[in-house]
Amino acid sequence: MKPELLDPIEWESIIDTIDREFGQGVTKKLLGKLTPMALVEGNWRNIYLIPTSWMNLLIEEAPSGFDYHLAGKQLGVMTKDRFRLSLQILPELAQMTTKILTVSRQGAESFTYGRSILKESVVYLDFNLKRNQRVLVMDEEFHCLGIASLATDANRLSRLKSDDLVGKNLVDIGWFIRRLG
Amino acid sequence: MSRKELRQKAKTIAKEHEYLPYMIERYLSLWGEEATMQFIEACEQPIRTSIRMNPLRAEPEKVIERLKKKGVKLEKIPWLVHGYYADFEGHSTPGAFLEHMLGYYYVQGVPSMTTVEVLDPQPEETVFDLAAAPGGKTTHIAQQMQNSGKVIAIEMDRRRIASLESNILRCGVTNAIVLRGDAKKVEKLGLKPDKILLDAPCSGEGLIPLDPTRKSSKSMADIRFCATREDELLDAAVNILAPGGTIVYSTCSIAPEENEYIVDDILKRHPELKVAPIPLEFGIPGYSEPFGVHLDESLKMAKRFLPHLHGAEGFFICKMIKEGST
């Protein structure tokens, strides 16, 4: 993959996507003193946060004969117009956001096998969250298990049946295992 | 025992235990008959599962407590800071635990953990891992460095890169750069690392307890082929190592041709390189006179794991220092 500096417009759109979903200023906190860059392959732009001292190695003096596959902290991936957060950044993000769906032990196990979240598994969901909102899925011990998209407004939760869908699984940490077969 | 008698004996033992005769012949020459039989017997026994706690993701004490509550029996490995024998009996695979998915621990062989402990990477250093997939050692190096400095992880095999990346992300490693390419051309990167780990691709002769097909799948020509590649990789690594830097060369082979012979050759070609003592209590000393061939005496400071002596897969670890000041 080819390393590239991030165009400010692209970076602004990533900031906007993350902040809109998880709270104003969150992306800036995730960035800290690091610099965003992309590893590009076709339509995929993998976004990483790296120390500025790595810029020479990665951008200015990229060696021939080697292909970059990962560098520093993976923020997410941009495919066409859509940005998806990386699993790696989620534990850090969980400390900064209130967009959280807490699930029961059984719900947590099911979620890490790639399943979505039913009403019966929901332990806590902020009353104000709306349908299509992306939320971090946490177990009751505050382990971050992945991301879900709400299938309903949170204030309608009490009216749902126990097997109604609440959160659609977008990505979960079971991927680390499933990916490798 | 005459050469002819040794061959005959090797042939008989090999047939009985489904090894290739050349392997048994070499074991008899190296260790004698009693130890050879012990080796064969040990290779039929399962290797104990071991895990490494990952403080980058969670406090080891809390993870130990969680696992114990789930019925996993843990026993500390004396010379490893974060290494434990783990008995997951009654459970599914160790990889299916939530704590594993969260990156709280890594399922890893004892010798593999030991190589990084021997390398002893420090925060803020630049460390190369030259045959990095699937990432057990890369993630271990990063945790020792507390995610500072940089780990350059190089892997040639495109398919194995996926597991390397996945393990880096799972374990919360943020100081790694993963490159796909030929580690023999590593000088093109223009860096002088403080430390290098070369766990070289090898014939895997030490892995018989884990893979019984290895008893008959590799010929002497395969070992020679691997030895040539190991020699080239080690030479490339030594060339880029910073003066005063440390290199750890390891393989999961028990063949002296892939281990002591390779290091002996490199010591002759690079007089600035010296074998260094390993200040950890494990294994047995490397061989300085395997098959009657006289090699550099300092090779006794290298270490070996053998299945019949250590209940682990066969492994070779040699620590070397490049003289000069950084």
pLDDT at A62: 63
pLDDT in tens, B21-73: 999 999 999 999 999 999 999 999 999 999 999 999 999 999 999 999 999 99
pLDDT at B255: 98
Cβ neighbours of residue B91 under 8 Å, at least 6 residues apart? B70, B71, B72, B97
Backbone angles phi, psi at B244, to 5 degrees: 85, -5
Same domain, B134 and B255: yes
In chain B the beta strands, taken as DSSP E runs, fall at 50-53, 73-76, 83-87, 105-107, 126-129, 150-155, 176-180, 195-199, 246-251, 273-275, 284-285, 303-305, 315-322
Domain count, chain B: 2
Per CB-CB distance under 8 Å, the chain A contacts of B63 are: none
Three-class SS state of B320: strand
B50 occurs within a structural domain: no
Report the C-alpha gap between B214 and B206 in whole angstroms.
9
Are residues B175 and A109, on separate chains, in Cβ contact within 8 Å? no
Among A49, A66, A88, whose Cβ lies nearest the Cβ of B180?
A66
Residues A38, A4 contacting (CB under 8 angstroms): yes
Which of B57, B100, B179, B186 should one mutate to test binding to chain A, selecting the residue with the greatest count of A CBs within 10 A? B179
Q: Tell me the mean pLDDT in the region B293-303.
A: 98
Which of A176, A178, A180 should one mutate to test binding to chain B, selecting the residue with the greatest count of B CBs within 10 A? A176
**Residue B18 in tokens:** 């489904």
B88 occurs within a structural domain: no
Rg (CA), chain A: 18
Question: Long-range pairs for B11-16 at CB < 8 Å and ≥24 separation?
Answer: B13/B37, B13/B40
Residue B43 annotated as catalytic: no
Same domain, B12 and B135: no
- Give all domains of chain A, ordered by start, each with its CATH number: 4-89 (3.10.450.220), 98-180 (2.30.130.10)
B226 occurs within a structural domain: yes
B77 occurs within a structural domain: no
Three-class SS state of A161: coil
Same domain, B146 and B236: yes
Report the interhelical angle of B260-269 vs B220-240 (nearest 10°).
Answer: 40
B126 occurs within a structural domain: yes
pLDDT at B65: 97
Residues B42, B314 contacting (CB under 8 angstroms): no
In this predicted structure, the answer to whether residue A154 has a pLDDT above a threshold of 60 is: yes
Same domain, B35 and B123: no
Same domain, B116 and B37: no
Domain of B188 in residue numbering reads as 110-322
Same domain, B151 and B22: no
B82 occurs within a structural domain: no
Are residues B154 and A66, on separate chains, in Cβ contact within 8 Å? yes
pLDDT in tens, B156-191: 999 899 999 999 999 999 999 999 999 999 999 999
